[in-house]
Structures are given as C-alpha cells and as structure tokens.
Amino acid sequence: MDKLIIEGGVPLRGRIRVSGSKNAALPILMACLLAETPVRLANVPRLRDIRTTLKLLNILGCESEFEENVVRAQVVLLKPEAPYDLVKTMRASVLCLGPLLALLGEARVALPGGCAIGARPVDLHLKALERMGAAFELTSGYILGHCKKLKGAHITFDFPTVGGTENLLMAASLAEGETVLENAAREPEVADLANFLNACGAKISGQGTSVIHIQGVSSLHGCEYRVMPDRIEAGTFLVAAPITGGELEILDCPFQELDALVYKLREMGVWVQEDGERVIVRRDGELTGVDVTTQPHPGFPTDMQAQIMALMCVAKGAGSIQEKIFENRFMHVLELVRLGANIKLKDRTAVVRGVPKLVGAPVMASDLRASASLVLAGLAAEGTTEVQRIYHLDRGYENIEAKLSAVGARIRRAPE
C-alpha cells in the first residue's frame, strides 16, 4: 500500500486540467454491453475503478483495449455472471444488471457489499426492474435475476438514486414500449450516459430532469463518444486554490454543473470566475464558515462534502455540514481533527470551527473523497502530512500527485 507525503504551506499557482469523469465513464462502459458493434470512448480517466470495470466487461464477454485515455470495446459473446471477487472491489459493478437482463433475460450479479460510507443497498434498482417484468432471488450473496422480454413501465423512484436511474436507462433502452422514470436522478453523469445511449441509437429524452422518457428499440449499435469532464475532480481543485492561498487556472472544468458548490465557495469568500475556456479560482481575503446540506443534484453534491469541510477548517468562524445522502460519510472528521481541526459531530451534522492553522501529521484515508479531503488539508497544513492507504484516492483521481506537483505542491508517493 502506498502513502502520500505532503510538505504543506505552499500556495498552489498555475494551470491544471480536469480528467474525464469516473462516475460517467463507469456506467457508459457498462452500456457498451448493449452495443452490437464496436464502441470508441475518449477522455476515459486512467483509474483503478476503470480497470476493474474493463476486467468485469471481459468476464461478461465484452473485450476491450485501453490506450492513453481511449477505450475500444466490442461484445463477443455475452455471459450473465458478475463474480463476487470483482463486485466486492467496486459497487458500481451492479450497473451490469440492467444490460444483462435487457440482452439475456438473466443475470447473476454478486450483491455489492456496503462500503465505508454506508450500507449502499440496491433495493430501488430491483424494485424498478421488477416493474418491467424482472424477478429476483437473493441467494448466497448473489442477485439472481431473470425475465422474458423487459416491458416498458411507469416507474417512480422513492429516492432519486443515481445508480438506479442508470440501471433503468440501460434496461429500458431495449425494452418493449415506453418507460417513464419519475423522481429520476438529475446528476450530469446520468445525462452523459443517456447521451451516450442516444448516440448508440436509443430514444431517451428528459435526461437531466427528474422525468425521463425512454422509447425501447430493438437493438443498439456502437458509436464514438467523449466522456464528460469530472465535476468532482474539478470541485476538488476549486478548493485546492483557496485552501493554500494560491490561484489556479482550471481547464476542462464543467463549470455549469457546479452551481451549488460555486455558490457556497463564493459565500465563503472564494473568488471564482469563468474566463473563456478556463476557470480562475483564488481566495479573496478572509474565508468565513458556511452552512452546507448535501442533496441530490442540483443541490450540494455529497461527493464534495469532505473537501469543503477541509476548507471550512481553516476559515474564520463556524459552519455546519449536514450529510443527507449517506449515513456514514464523516470518516474524514477524526483524521482532520488529528491535523488540528475543530469539528464536533452530532448525528449527521458536523459543526466546524475554523482554526488559525492546521499542523501536519500522519492520517489515514478511509474512502475516496475522505482521502481527497486529507490531501487538501495536508496541502494547507504547516509541516509534513502523511496520507496512508491512498489506494482509495487512486480509485477516483488520475495522476493526482503529478497534477498538484505541477502547480507547486510538495507531494510525493512512497511505499507505506
């Protein structure tokens, strides 16, 4: 296992480019199972979760190659089983359920376990697929699903689940008749998947709103597609500039998808502006604490909660963070406290009181965005911070230490 060693206190300055979106690329790669002819995907980030997904596609009978940031995928002979030893390393594997049922009428997918941030059930996926005619059994850790031809249905999600909406978009694309998804997830990555499916010949409309219509078609062909930029990586860089007192120019930033975050950063006293192709961000004087509640898109993204908490640790005054999406997404709090932060937890609310400075220390990453938060805090802290177990970070950030070093950070990877 590797760790990152950070000498903090250096204001970051320079140009940093955002990679392709992990959370758009994962469902889009699963959707390649539906295409009868080859797919060429550009702007795919080089991440652990992407490599895991390509391994799973291979097991399911879809061959692929991954060069630079381009994936070429081609279905050879589909098989219905997603094994536990792969699914346990990446929950998003459950996104093969929709395609397998749509194509084969059967699926054996290991039930994805929970993870550090919560139980992560998939009951909403299964309930919605049952409305389309699928039947499920849960035996010895596997979801066994089967159906005749999936039929279009009118489905209302109890919660706007991102993965559930994505599974249903893929299943409904090849179902008989029309499917309507109400209370659907509005995340930009869901819209990116719908746009990819339409490029393959699907008939989807309403993506990005909470009501999506899908007219089933008989088959889908391959296409060439470019994955959207990663708005959470971009958001992480929007915090990296003010937390170190520097200024960054961010390229390929999906600025229009970050309204809720930008609104809160400006409320804290961060200066951020779009300037043509770039987004410029820096601290604008004293930072002050704010109150944040995580919500489904277009509300404040839960995937930016840990990162804005790091910024609030060095702001003036107090602020609060309510985590309404996941039941256990405060694993970074005690690690930030090790760096000198003043944070009190009560149920699913954290009260953060800014401190004049953070002081470097060894800390441990527990999940992907918690590790990003600890890196940000380490960049601001005085002295040396060691972030351990950064395999969590490698799941979602491409070349993070190279990108940060290029704008002045003193950060290096070392074996733990």
Residue nearest to ligand EPZ (CB): 163
For the CB of residue 335, give the shortest distance to ligand EPZ in the complex, in Å.
16
| Structure token digits, residue 252 | 């390929």
The one catalytic residue among 96, 115, 147, 200: 115
Closer to ligand EPZ at the Cβ: 162 or 404? 162
For the CB of residue 285, give the shortest distance to ligand EPZ in the complex, in Å.
31
Q: Of 319, 314, 317, 313, whose CA–CA distance to 332 is shortest?
A: 313
Closer to ligand EPZ at the Cβ: 232 or 241? 232
For the chain, helix (H) and strand (E) counts, in that order, are: 14, 24
Sign (positive or negative) of CA dihedral 319, 320, 325, 327 = positive
For the CB of residue 165, give the shortest distance to ligand EPZ in the complex, in Å.
8
- Which residues are bridge partners to 413 per DSSP? 4
Closer to ligand EPZ at the Cβ: 265 or 306? 306
β-strand 154-156 against 178-182: which pairing, if any?
parallel
Q: Of 249, 238, 256, 250, whose CA–CA distance to 304 is shortest?
A: 238
Q: Of 224, 222, 227, 220, whose CA–CA distance to 189 is shortest?
A: 227
Closer to ligand EPZ at the Cβ: 112 or 360? 112
- Which residues are bridge partners to 270 per DSSP? 283
Q: Of 93, 75, 101, 82, whose CA–CA distance to 171 is shortest?
A: 101
Closer to ligand EPZ at the Cβ: 358 or 373? 373
- Which residues are bridge partners to 13 per DSSP? 247
Distance in angstroms (rounded) separating the CA atoms of residues 330 and 207: 31
**Chain Cα centroid distance, residue 84:** 22
For the CB of residue 155, give the shortest distance to ligand EPZ in the complex, in Å.
12
- Which residues are bridge partners to 81 per DSSP? 108
For the CB of residue 23, give the shortest distance to ligand EPZ in the complex, in Å.
4
Closer to ligand EPZ at the Cβ: 166 or 249? 166
Q: Of 125, 147, 151, 126, whose CA–CA distance to 216 is shortest?
A: 151
Distance in angstroms (rounded) separating the CA atoms of residues 241 and 239: 6
Distance in angstroms (rounded) separating the CA atoms of residues 72 and 372: 30
List of residues contacting ligand EPZ (CB under 6 A): 23, 26, 92, 118-125, 159, 161-164, 185, 187, 189, 302-303, 325-326, 368-369, 396
Per the annotation, the verdict on 253 as an active-site residue is: no
User: Torsion angle of alpha carbons 79, 228, 199, 39, nearest 10°?
Assistant: -40
For the CB of residue 35, give the shortest distance to ligand EPZ in the complex, in Å.
20
Distance in angstroms (rounded) separating the CA atoms of residues 214 and 153: 10
For the CB of residue 157, give the shortest distance to ligand EPZ in the complex, in Å.
9
Closer to ligand EPZ at the Cβ: 282 or 395? 395
Q: How far is CA 5 from CA 31, 208, 282, 335, in A?
A: 38, 40, 24, 15
Residues assigned a catalytic role: 115
